[in-house]
Amino acid sequence: MLAIFKREFKSYMNTVTGPLFVAVNLFFLGIYFVAYHLYMGEPRVAYTVQSVIFVFLIVTPVLTMRSMAQERRQRTDQLLFTSPVSPAGIILGKYFGMVSVFLLPVLVLCAYPLVLSIYGKVPMAESYVSILAYFLFGSACISIGLFMSSLTENLIIAAVGTFGTLLLGYLMAGIKAIISQSGNNVTKVLTAFDIASPMDNMMQGIIDVPAIIYYLSVIVFMLFLTFVTVTKRRYEVHKDTIKTYVFSYVAVIALAAALVGINIAADHIPDDKKNIDVTENQMSEITDTTLNYLKGIDSDVTIYVLNTEDACDETIKQILGRYTSATKHIKTEYKDISAAPDFATQYGVDNATPGSLIVVSDLRSKYVDYNSLYETTIDYQTYSQKVTGIDAEGQITSALDYVLSGDMPYVYVIEGHNELKLSDHLTQLVEKANIDVRTLNLMNTDSIEDEAGAVFILAPTVDYTADDVAKVEDYLSRGHSALIVSSYSPESMTNFNGIMESYGVDTVGGIVIEGDPEHYYQSPVNLLPQLGASMITSDLMSSNRLVLMPYAQGATFGVSDNEARSVTKLLSTTDTAYLKTDTQNAQSMEKEAGDVDGPFELGLMVEDEQDGKKTSLLYFTSESILDDSVDSMVSGANSALVAKGITQMVGEKESTIAIPAKSYESEKIVVPDSTTLMLAIIVVGVVPLLIMLAGIFVWNRRRKR
């Protein structure tokens, strides 16, 4: 076999075929490398790999068409098969010779993540898993091309047959979708011919064991078919021809059955072993927080997936598998709502979205809409939605906590003073922590009940009455919590501001202007505050996310002689900030006489303990922190900050669990323009051209001998 391998590899590299194959691959890899990584700054090499898949289908026949067909056309096949090398050794030698040629551009591709790591953070594990997927896919395609070449002596037929077969396999996922969106027996059979879809998980940074087994199975089966084809032709003049044919067919069927069995068994490997997540944020894994929670479950829960198993979102399927593997008390069932449209209605869901979940226990059920499993934002360049993160674990764990818990905590949103409405997005984040949101008008109650986990006072523009303030302060004095948001208003808000003043925080009426350009966005009133170290801000600080607060008031606090009171700075301006108290008569945003010097606090957590009762106040000085449009400009950082604060306040008194979403966003690669141009010339022009010229030179020199 080794002799055949050396002969084949030298044959490819001494003709134009090998260098052409390598050069074309490197040319297109270089184009996408420059476009995605050097210009767009994408750190994941999978973008490049996925883009060249179709190109590979085109160039593979160039490499494989002559492997067996040319031997047959030149009548050297019989001479080859009468050599001391066995037919299996000949086929393996030819196959590994072609794979070695393919390995050359793959090795160059392996250098791309290393080059990018010079200019930023690159998810290495994800990148090399995607390269492994590309290598396995390419090796399987080459085995198919080898088999097609063994069927004919015509190189054109071998090339067209290979391309047609590979194209059909590439399009098979779409063909299956046309036949049935939910899947049936026909699509299950066609899955065996879908050569592209098994790469999907690996392109996402997941080591997919069934996918690896599938590609190895394709390679083994195609090589065996080639062996059968060659040996059948070798012995076709033998007297036992019929027996040979029968043996060949039986062997092919037996091997096919064995490989199908192996692939079916691979699909039944435990989920924590079947898919190994090496992504930077462990997208399909569940956190230790959830695992610890699952250990304490002692009641049975069924998670109904409103879709067929074949059509289910693969990532969601993997995450659900982690839950069922972690505890015997959770099981997953798939329900095709197109076949049983009334299934969801028995759980109070009228317009269920395909792919959504219904989590059911003996106590209650909870519907988890499919759209809530992912975080999205609007791309204002294309005006289309972009998936920025996955929140499946957070939503599922929250739903489990909801259906298994006893009485659920709730909070009151105070109304009656022209307050701001809690946004739908923030409401969802609060409810995700299994905290119910209710409204309360202080005119309709003599006292806020102790059962309420907190009150939300959201930017009133009409001042509170003394009676309103008394009810709120009485509630807080009994050891409760409040989220308070103020908003600039030309009207006097003496009573409302008095709530915070009683806890040592003074609000300065006016609008804060930031003097440091690095701490505002486009305009000095669009503040990008400095984050203070705390449990509430820790997630944002670790991921270098920014909070945006336009048109904020300024808050200050003095030194308190109350040792039981503590104030934590969450959001602060720089020392260069100042505040305009008379905004209606201000001549410009430049600092003027009468403006108040900073710095100011824009977000605070005040904690006060009296007689063993702890009061917590979360205070922000701009209603914009609750605005969805402002929140989307910082990819949800504002709402994440507020939700974390609420969860911490209520969670101190109630049993709540909230898992943050995992972001798909990653830090961009920043390559200097001069370096980008130089690398582009090298990977797109110089390297492919040199390889092609070297191939032509070698071929021409050998031709003249």
**In degrees rounded to 5, what are phi and psi of residue 49?**
-60, -45
Going by C-alpha positions, the residue among 163, 3, 225, 64 that lies closest to residue 233 is 225
At residue 368, the 3 state secondary structure works out as strand
Q: Rounded to whole angstroms, how far apart are CA atoms 560 and 606? A: 12
Predicted local distance difference test score (pLDDT) of residue 383: 56
**In degrees rounded to 5, what are phi and psi of residue 504?**
85, 10
CB 334, CB 320: distance < 8 Å: no
Model confidence pLDDT, tens digit, residues 580-633: 877 666 667 777 777 888 899 999 998 888 777 888 899 999 999 888 888 888
Going by C-alpha positions, the residue among 275, 282, 271 that lies closest to residue 331 is 271
3-state helix vs strand vs coil in the chain, percent to 5:
50, 15, 30
CB 592, CB 580: distance < 8 Å: yes
Going by C-alpha positions, the residue among 421, 415, 374 that lies closest to residue 396 is 374
Is it the case that residue 93 has pLDDT exceeding 50?
Answer: yes
Q: Rounded to whole angstroms, how far apart are CA atoms 405 and 25? A: 57
Model confidence pLDDT, tens digit, residues 221-269: 999 998 888 877 655 544 455 555 555 778 888 888 898 889 888 888 8
Model confidence pLDDT, tens digit, residues 451-492: 888 899 998 988 899 999 999 999 998 888 899 999 887 778
- Alpha carbon distances (Å) from 683 to 31, 34, 473: 8, 8, 68
Residue 551, Ramachandran bin (φ over 0: left; ψ between -120 and 50: alpha; else beta): left
- Where does the pLDDT of residue 671 fall: very low under 50, low under 70, confident under 90, or very high at 90 and above? confident
Predicted local distance difference test score (pLDDT) of residue 382: 57
CB 437, CB 429: distance < 8 Å: no
Predicted local distance difference test score (pLDDT) of residue 431: 74
Is it the case that residue 561 has pLDDT exceeding 60?
Answer: no
Is it the case that residue 271 has pLDDT exceeding 90?
Answer: no
Predicted local distance difference test score (pLDDT) of residue 23: 92
Predicted local distance difference test score (pLDDT) of residue 157: 92
Average pLDDT over residues 559-565: 64
Q: Rounded to whole angstroms, how far apart are CA atoms 162 and 169? A: 11
- Where does the pLDDT of residue 704 fall: very low under 50, low under 70, confident under 90, or very high at 90 and above? low
Beta strands in 50-166 (DSSP E): none
Average pLDDT over residues 408-420: 86
Q: What percent of the chain has pLDDT over 70?
A: 91
Predicted local distance difference test score (pLDDT) of residue 381: 57
Going by C-alpha positions, the residue among 68, 69, 70, 104 that lies closest to residue 87 is 68
Beta strands in 191-340 (DSSP E): 206-208, 275-277, 301-305, 330-334
Is it the case that residue 103 has pLDDT exceeding 70?
Answer: yes
Sheet holding 330-334, edge to edge: 330-334, 301-305, 357-360, 365-368
Residue whose entry in the numeric block shows the structure tokens 């961009």:
668
The count of other CB atoms within 10 Å of the CB of residue 412 is: 23
Average pLDDT over residues 662-671: 79
Element (H, E) at 577: none
Beta-strand pair 301-305/330-334 = parallel
Q: Rounded to whole angstroms, how far apart are CA atoms 56 and 135? A: 11
Q: Rounded to whole angstroms, how far apart are CA atoms 607 and 481? A: 9
Is it the case that residue 279 has pLDDT exceeding 90?
Answer: no
Alpha-helical runs (H) found in 389-493? 392-404, 424-432, 466-477
Q: How long a stretch of residues is the chain?
A: 705
Q: Burial letters for 427-452: b for 16+ Cβ neighbours within 10 Å, e otherwise?
A: bbbbebbbbebeebebeeeeebeeeb
Model confidence pLDDT, tens digit, residues 107-141: 999 999 999 999 888 889 999 999 999 999 999 99
- Which tokens sit at 213? 């087994």
CB 597, CB 512: distance < 8 Å: no
Contacts of 589 (CB under 8 A, 6+ apart): 513, 523, 524, 525, 580
Beta strands in 632-696 (DSSP E): 662-663
Q: Rounded to whole angstroms, how far apart are CA atoms 511 and 583? A: 7
- Where does the pLDDT of residue 358 fall: very low under 50, low under 70, confident under 90, or very high at 90 and above? very high
Q: What domains can be seen in the chain, in order of their start residue?
A: 2-277+672-704 (no CATH), 292-405 (3.40.30.10), 409-654 (3.40.50)
Average pLDDT over residues 283-307: 90
- Where does the pLDDT of residue 336 fall: very low under 50, low under 70, confident under 90, or very high at 90 and above? confident
Least-confidence region, from 112-126, 311-325, 390-404, 587-601: 587-601
Least-confidence region, from 189-203, 560-574, 609-623: 560-574
Going by C-alpha positions, the residue among 457, 410, 454 that lies closest to residue 434 is 410
Predicted local distance difference test score (pLDDT) of residue 128: 94
Task: Concatenate the DSSP letters of all residues of 386-403 into one string.
Answer: EEEEE-HHHHHHHHHHHH
- Alpha carbon distances (Å) from 341 to 54, 351, 353, 387, 569: 39, 9, 11, 28, 52
- Across all residues in the chain, what is the average pLDDT? 85
Count the alpha carbons within 13 Å of 189 in the hemisphere toward its beta carbon: 3
- Which tokens sit at 405? 């818990």
Task: List beta partners, residue 603.
Answer: 571, 620
Q: Rounded to whole angstroms, how far apart are CA atoms 187 and 170? A: 15
Going by C-alpha positions, the residue among 538, 533, 530, 532 that lies closest to residue 512 is 530
Is it the case that residue 688 has pLDDT exceeding 60?
Answer: yes
Q: Rounded to whole angstroms, how far apart are CA atoms 381 and 137? A: 34
CB 367, CB 356: distance < 8 Å: yes
Element (H, E) at 117: none
Residue 389 is which amino acid?
G
Please give the model's pTM, rounded to 2 decimal places.
Answer: 0.69
Predicted local distance difference test score (pLDDT) of residue 237: 43
CB 657, CB 395: distance < 8 Å: no
Q: What percent of the chain has pLDDT over 90?
A: 27
Q: Rounded to whole angstroms, how far apart are CA atoms 654 and 646? A: 12
At residue 573, the 3 state secondary structure works out as coil
- Which tokens sit at 394? 């957070």
Q: Rounded to whole angstroms, how far apart are CA atoms 500 and 604? A: 11
Predicted local distance difference test score (pLDDT) of residue 338: 81
First to last CA, the chain: 28
Predicted local distance difference test score (pLDDT) of residue 360: 93
Q: Rounded to whole angstroms, how far apart are CA atoms 690 and 23? A: 8
- Which tokens sit at 368? 């988890």
Predicted local distance difference test score (pLDDT) of residue 278: 86
Going by C-alpha positions, the residue among 344, 278, 274 that lies closest to residue 307 is 344
Q: Rounded to whole angstroms, how far apart are CA atoms 419 and 415? A: 6
**In degrees rounded to 5, what are phi and psi of residue 342?**
-90, 0
- Alpha carbon distances (Å) from 242 to 55, 78, 247, 460, 472: 42, 21, 9, 92, 95
Predicted local distance difference test score (pLDDT) of residue 238: 47
- Higher pLDDT residue, 433 or 142? 142
Predicted local distance difference test score (pLDDT) of residue 5: 85
